[in-house]
């Protein structure tokens, strides 16, 4: 819980904010072994570990964090906050603004910088002045970059995965379609639906369908599903193609575990991302990074194409050449190809 309100970049302030977090390993007496892991849009603080109370699924980077793994918890103290504006324990639209009243559609507009400022306050509370490594992919990579630019003295090393210096026109365009899908749902009610027993779940599901296609690659979808019909269904008489059923599954799964209001707030925060804003542009901002850095893209990523990571690798003076994760899975490759991510972690801090 932060005592002071957080002053927001767009104006106004957010009082009484909380960030949920998880940690693994032990913080060294000199506090030099702390690693910050930042999750993507619908991720959470449960980076590793089994499913259990409060965690309907196993960790999303299972295989990366634990004894003997790349983020070896016998050596590193790994910490992961749930992003500000999210819905897995941190303050967001679904949390109470005051007793009995949720934020809903009154939750303020956030930027990645606001979210990182909140994380810096949380790091202060943990007593961590400097991270040995800050790592994140996609939206987590945006925040990792903001950490390295806003707080170079607190960022010991930097690993950026499948991310960008600034949200591009196409990324904003895809996001815009998703925002419209949610806001067009008759149960959206301007974001004030919490506690009514109903919500814009159809809209959130539609947003996830749109997003999920962008998270995967065309060859993967073609190889995996082709033109096949879903078992027992006929697309020519009201049934679905197998790929439609797959998207329906991901839509329903997200609608069960994620808040639409958070999806809107986080998507708008991603759209706002421009590390160069107020800093003389992207190139000038990237020159602020002092941490040894690695930047990697996924070779089949059509949402955050490797050209965006090439810009980062070229602009960050301390970065090595651009690395490519080889994967058929598109943007989600940074979540799925954990062995290749582990190799990058080891190269940077191993
Ligand atoms: C995994 C979590 O949700 S953890 C919670 C935190 N979440 C995050 O961090 C978000 C990050 N996760 C994600 O974005 C995705 O879930 C990923 C990237 C991990 C998914 O990657 P993959 O393992 O490649 O999953 P994939 O896209 O193949 O989907 C598999 C699911 O589709 C289902 N599926 C496959 N084909 C079909 C079909 N024709 N019809 C219906 N369902 C189908 C599978 O049964 C499986 O279901 P399950 O996930 O409920 O077990
Ligand atoms: N599948 C990931 C990708 C976003 O970068 C998520 O849902 O968070």
Sign of CA dihedral 87, 92, 98, 103: negative
Q: How far is the CA of 261 from the centre of ligand 1 (A)?
A: 22
Catalytic residues: 138, 301, 331
User: The tokens of 66 are what?
Assistant: 């634990």
Long-range contacts of 337-341 (CB under 8 A, 24+ apart): 337/298, 338/61, 338/62, 338/63, 338/64, 339/63, 341/61, 341/64, 341/70, 341/161, 341/296
- The whole-angstrom separation of Cα 241 and Cα 274 is 39
Low-confidence ranges of the chain (pLDDT < 70): 1-3
Q: How much is the pLDDT for 72?
A: 98
Distance CA 72, CA 8 (A): 36
Asked if 262 and 88 count as a contact pair (C-beta separation under 8 A), the reply is no
Phi (first) and psi of residue 347, to 5 degrees: -60, -35
- Give the number of the atom of ligand 1 that is nearest the alpha carbon of residue 242: 39
pLDDT tens for 294-325 read: 999 999 999 999 999 999 999 999 999 999 99
Which of 89, 210, 332, 336 is the pocket-test mutation for ligand 1 (most atoms within 8 Å of CB)? 332
Rounded CA-CA distance 197/144 in Å is 36
**Distance from the CA of 43 to the center of ligand 2, in angstroms?**
7
Q: Concatenate the DSSP letters of all residues of 137-167 into one string.
A: ETHHHHHHHHHHHH-GGGBS-EEEES--SB-
pTM higher than 0.95: yes
Confirm whether the ipTM is greater than 0.90.
Answer: yes
Q: Domains in the chain, please, with CATH?
A: 6-167+274-349 (3.40.50.1820), 171-267 (1.10.1740.110)
Task: Give CA–CA dist 344/256, Å, rounded.
Answer: 33
Q: Which long-range contacts (CB under 8 A, 24 or more apart) does 231-240 make?
A: none
**What is the pLDDT, as a whole number, of residue 52?**
79
For ligand 1, atom 41: residue with the closest CA:
246
- Alpha carbons within 13 angstroms on the beta-carbon side of residue 169 total 0
Residue among 211, 266, 305 whose CB has most ligand 2 atoms within 8 A, to mutate: 211
Average pLDDT of the chain?
A: 97
Q: Is 65 helix (H, G, I), strand (E, B) or coil?
A: strand
The pLDDT assigned to 55 comes to: 79
Nearest Cα residue to 72 out of 333, 349, 292, 336? 349
- Say if residue 332 carries a ligand binding annotation: yes
Distance 318 CA to ligand 1 centre (A): 36
């Amino acid at each position: 819980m932060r005592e002071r309100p957080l002053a927001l970049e767009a104006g106004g302030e957010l009082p009484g904010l909380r960030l949920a977090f998880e940690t693994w390993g032990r913080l060294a007496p000199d506090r030099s072994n702390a690693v910050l892991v930042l999750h993507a849009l619908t991720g959470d603080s449960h980076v590793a570990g089994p499913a259990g109370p409060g965690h309907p699924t196993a960790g999303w980077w299972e295989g990366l964090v634990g004894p003997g793994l790349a983020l070896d918890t016998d050596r590193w103290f790994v910490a992961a906050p749930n992003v500000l504006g999210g819905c897995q324990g941190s303050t967001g639209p679904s949390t109470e603004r005051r007793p009995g009243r949720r934020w809903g559609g009154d939750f303020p507009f956030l930027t990645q910088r606001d979210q990182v400022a909140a994380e810096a306050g949380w790091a202060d509370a943990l007593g961590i002045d400097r991270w040995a490594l800050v790592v994140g992919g996609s939206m987590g990579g945006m925040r990792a970059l903001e950490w390295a630019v806003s707080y170079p003295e607190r960022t010991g090393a930097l690993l950026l995965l499948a991310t960008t210096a600034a949200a591009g026109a196409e990324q904003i365009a895809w996001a815009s379609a998703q925002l419209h899908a949610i806001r067009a749902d008759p149960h959206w009610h301007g974001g004030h639906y919490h506690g009514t027993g109903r919500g814009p779940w159809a809209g959130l599901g539609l947003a996830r369908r749109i997003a999920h296609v962008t998270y995967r690659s065309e060859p993967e979808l073609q190889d995996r599903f082709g033109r096949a019909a879903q078992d027992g269904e006929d697309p020519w008489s009201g049934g679905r193609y197998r790929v439609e059923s797959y998207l329906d599954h991901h839509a329903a799964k997200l609608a069960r575990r994620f808040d639409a209001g958070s999806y809107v707030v986080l998507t708008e925060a991603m759209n706002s991302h421009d590390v160069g804003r107020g800093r003389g542009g992207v190139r000038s901002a990237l020159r602020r990074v002092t941490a040894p850095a690695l930047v990697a893209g996924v070779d089949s990523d059509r949402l955050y194409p490797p050209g965006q990571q090439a810009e980062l690798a070229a602009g960050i003076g301390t970065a090595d050449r651009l690395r490519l994760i080889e994967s058929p899975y598109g943007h989600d490759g940074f979540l799925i190809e954990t062995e290749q991510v582990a190799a990058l972690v080891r190269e940077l801090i191993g």
